[in-house]
Amino acid sequence: MGLPGSSAGRGDPTLSGGRCALCPPFRRTPRPRVSGTAYDDCVSKDERPTAIEHAECHILHIDMDAFFVSVELLDHPHLHGVPVIVGSPSGRSVVLSASYEARRFGVRSAMPMSVAMRQCPTAVILPPHQRRYAEVSARVMGIFRSVTPDVEQLSVDEAFLDVAGSMRRLGGPREIGEQVRAEISSTLGITASVGAASTKFVAKIASTRAKPDGLLLIPGDQTVAYLHTLPVSALWGVGAKTQEVLARIGIRTVEDVARTPLSTLRSLLGASGEHVHHLAWGRDPRRVVVSRPEKSIGAEETFSSDVDDTDVLRRELLRLAHRTATRLRSSGYRAGGVALKLRYADFSTLTRSRKLDEPVDSAHALYSAATALLAALGDRPMAVRLIGLRAESLEPGGDGSTQLTIDRRDDNWRIAERALDDVNRKFGDAGVVPAGLLIPRGRANSTDGPRDGQDEQLEGEQPARLWAGKRDVPGARLRPPAVQSRKPRD
pLDDT value for 88? 84
In this predicted structure, which of 131-145, 232-246, 424-438 has the lowest mean pLDDT? 424-438
Q: How many residues does the chain have?
A: 490
Label residue 428 by pLDDT band (50, 70, 90). low
| Overall average pLDDT of the 164-193 stretch | 96
Question: What tens digit of pLDDT does each residue of 70-102 get?
Answer: 999 999 999 999 999 999 887 678 899 999 999
Sign of CA dihedral 278, 279, 283, 286: positive
Minimal CA–CA distance to 394: which of 470, 333, 324?
333
Beta-bridge mates of residue 152: 160
Sort strands 384-396 and 349-360 into parallel, antiparallel or unpaired.
Answer: unpaired
Give the DSSP letter string of 428-463.
-TTSEE-GGGSPPTT---TTSPPPTTTGGGGGS---
Return the pLDDT at 435.
54
Tell me how crowded residue 447 is: count the other CB atoms within 10 A of its CB: 17
Pairing between strand 192-197 and 215-217?
Answer: parallel
pLDDT of res. 378 = 86
User: Does position 430 have pLDDT exceeding 80, yes or no?
Assistant: no
Alpha carbon dihedral 142, 400, 319, 110, in 10-degree steps, equals -20
- Summarize pLDDT for 44-65 with one digit per residue, the tens: 434 444 467 889 999 999 999 9
Does residue 422 register a pLDDT over 90?
A: no
Q: State how far the Cα of 310 lies from the Cα of 201, in Å rounded to an integer.
A: 45
Angle value at C-alpha 260, between 258 and 261, nearest 5 degrees? 115
| pLDDT over 80 (residue 374) | yes
Strand partners, 71: none
Q: Domains of the chain by range and CATH?
A: 15-65+132-219 (3.30.70.270), 231-280 (1.10.150.20), 296-482 (3.30.1490.100)
Residue 158: active-site member: yes
How far apart CA 354 and CA 191 sit, in angstroms, is 42
- Looking at residue 218, what is its pLDDT? 96
Q: Are 72 and 80 in contact (CB under 8 A)?
A: no
pLDDT at 288 over 60: yes
In this predicted model, what pLDDT tens digit does every residue of 465-483 receive, in sequence order?
333 333 333 333 333 333 3
Which amino acid, one-letter code, is at 222?
Answer: Q
- Find, among 310, 320, 312, the residue nearest to 391 by Cα: 320
Please give the Cα distance from 189 to 72 (Å, whole number): 11
Kindly tell me if the per-residue pLDDT of 396 is higher than 50: yes
Q: How, if at all, do strands 158-162 and 192-197 pair?
A: unpaired
Question: If pLDDT is split at 50, 70 and 90, which confidence band does 233 have?
Answer: very high
Q: Are 335 and 393 in contact (CB under 8 A)?
A: yes
pTM of the model: 0.60
Condensed to tens digits (0 to 9), the pLDDT of residues 1-44 reads 444 433 333 333 322 233 332 333 333 333 333 323 333 443 44
**Rounded distance, CA 376 to CA 477, Å?**
34
pLDDT score at 215: 97
Per-residue model confidence (pLDDT) at position 237: 81
Helix, strand, coil: what percent of the chain each, to 5?
40, 20, 40
Q: Which of 101, 152, 158, 178 is catalytic?
A: 158
Residue 308 confidence (pLDDT) above 70: yes
Task: Average the pLDDT over 152-175 and give the result.
Answer: 93
Strands 15-16 and 19-20 turn out to be antiparallel
- According to the model, what pLDDT value does residue 142 have? 94
The answer on pLDDT for 487 being more than 70 is: no
Alpha-carbon distance of 273 to 263, in angstroms, equals 8
In angstroms, the CA 323 to CA 345 distance is 24
Residue 283 in 3-state DSSP?
Answer: coil
Q: What is the pLDDT of residue 72?
A: 97
Q: Say if residue 296's pLDDT is above 90.
A: no
Is 104 strand, coil or helix?
A: coil
With 80 as the cut, is the pLDDT of residue 69 above it?
Answer: yes
Give the three-state DSSP class for 474. coil
At residue 57's C-alpha, the angle toward residues 53 and 61, to 5°, is: 135
User: Which one-letter amino acid corresponds to residue 376?
Assistant: A
* Residue 53 pLDDT: 81
Would the pLDDT of 135 be above 60?
Answer: yes
Report how far residue 295's alpha carbon sits from residue 261's, in angstroms, rounded to the nearest whole number: 36
474, with CB counted inside 10 A (0-12, 13-18, 19+), is exposed
